[in-house]
Every structure is written in structure tokens, then in C-alpha cells.
Amino acid sequence: MNRPFAFQSAASLVKHTGYSADNVRALLRGLQRVPGSSIFYHVHHALFRRHFTIGEFMNDFARWALTALGEEALAERLSAVDPLHCQSVREARNELVRVISEQLGASEYVAHVPSGKRFFFSQAQTFVFPTGRSAAGLREFGQEVQRVGVDTIFHHFVTAPLRLGRKDNDFSAWLRDELGEPDLAHQVAELSPYSYDLYRLRERIGDLVERRLH
């Protein structure tokens, strides 16, 4: 008998890490020293906080480089750090450090910003809880995935895979392993939460399930 999919959600408690930056060099030091939960917050959780934004996804570091420092080239390179290809927070940190280190090596002048434009490193402590919704089969899954909140989509598509250190999102893993739907699982896995807003991502998952049923 297949194991039902239990939809979960998560809430985050955000606090300051004690680290801040007023220039690129200080940003690099912060990236090297802050806990992994801070990298998660500024790279991955930034998606959830801006799920309603239309346009190219930018992590918080890239956005600060653009809006506070006016470093358009650096912002573009930081934005190019693809969270979907980083299977761990450590990978994301290492890639961000590499980009900024290369930028510093090519620059003779490091611009500072006034105190009001400093970058403050925050971190998120996440609490996972059940939603009370579950699905035993594909049709039921397609119905329930359209009813859950976008915080649930974010949890199963982004937070849980990072926590478990795997590439598959929870939906794809269940569709493949429990329902024996490898093609559908692959199609869902190909959806990028960094290319769609979370509402549209939820719709796309439902569309793929509906297409498979018919």
C-alpha cells in the first residue's frame, strides 16, 4: 500500500546574527562567518518573502549590491548563483564567497555605504508543523496541492530538500517512490521555484497532475 503524502508547512523566527556590512569586503567576512541558517535566509528564504514579485529572482546579497552599492556587475554575478543547483547551504555559501572574492581581486577601490544602508545578516529558525491535509493517490494529490498555502509549497519544494541534503523536492520523491510515476516526478522536478512565483508554481504542479490523469 502506498504511503500517503502528508502536507506540512513551516514558520520561521527571524533574528539578527550580530554581523553587518558596509562594503563588499565586510560582506565577504560576514558570508564566511555567519551560521548556515543566515545563508538560507538570505538566499532561499528570500524567494518566499518575495514570492509575489514579478521578474528575475535576486537573493538578498545581490539586491543589496545593486541598490546600496550600485555594483550592477557584482549584483548580476551574485544573482547568477543558482539556488536550485546548490544541494546544500554550504554549496551556496562557497559559491557566493567565490564570486565576491573574485570581485575584490579585480577591484582597486572598495566603496562604503552610510550606516542607514548597511547590510544586516539575519537568520531564520524554522518550525515545521502538519497542515492536516494528505493525499493517498494522484487525483487526491492534484486536488490537495491546489488547496494548500504557498508556505506549504515553499516548504516541500525548497526547505525540506535542503534540510535532508537531497536534490529531489518532496513532491517528486513521493510521486516516483510511492506512486511509481517517474515521468511526472521528473516534470515536477524540472519546475524551478526561482523562475515562478509560488502561486504560479502551485498552479503548474496541479496542471501537470491534471494532464497526467487525462
Same domain? 137 vs 177: yes
Question: Is 206 exposed, middle or buried, given 0-12, 13-18 or 19+ CB atoms closer than 10 A?
Answer: middle
pTM higher than 0.85: no
Q: What is the DSSP letter of 28?
A: H
What is each CA distance from 78 to 56, 82, 104, 157, 171, in whole angstroms?
12, 9, 13, 22, 29
As a whole number of angstroms, the longest Cα–Cα distance in the chain is: 64
> C-alpha angle with apex 213: 208 to 214, nearest 5 degrees?
100
Same domain, 108 and 36: yes
18 and 104, same domain (yes or no)? yes
Instruction: Tell whether 118 and 201 lie within a shared domain.
Output: no
pLDDT of residue 57: 60
Same domain, 146 and 106: no
Q: How many domains does the chain have?
A: 2
Pair (88, 149) in one structural domain:
no
Whether residue 86 sits in one domain with residue 142: no
Q: Which domain covers residue 49, as residue numbers? A: 11-123
Cα(43)–Cα(30) distance, rounded to whole angstroms?
14
My answer on whether 133 and 192 are in the same domain is yes
Query: Helix (H) and strand (E) counts for the chain?
Result: 12, 2
**Which of residues 123, 145, 169 is at a domain's end?**
123
Same structural domain for residues 118 and 169?
no
Which residue in 213, 197, 156 sits closest to 48, CA to CA? 197
Q: 98, 123, 148: which is the final residue of a domain?
A: 123
Non-local (6+) Cβ contacts of 206 within 8 A are 142, 145, 146
| Local confidence pLDDT in tens for the 214 residues of the chain | 689 999 999 888 899 999 999 999 999 999 999 999 999 899 888 777 665 444 456 789 999 999 999 999 999 999 888 776 777 889 999 999 999 999 887 666 788 899 899 999 999 888 899 999 999 999 999 999 999 999 999 899 888 887 777 778 999 999 999 999 999 999 999 998 777 778 889 999 999 999 999 8
Please tell me the predicted confidence (pLDDT) of residue 108: 65
Same domain, 82 and 141: no
Domain boundary among 69, 97, 123: 123
Same domain, 17 and 118: yes
Are residue 19 and residue 107 in the same domain, yes or no? yes
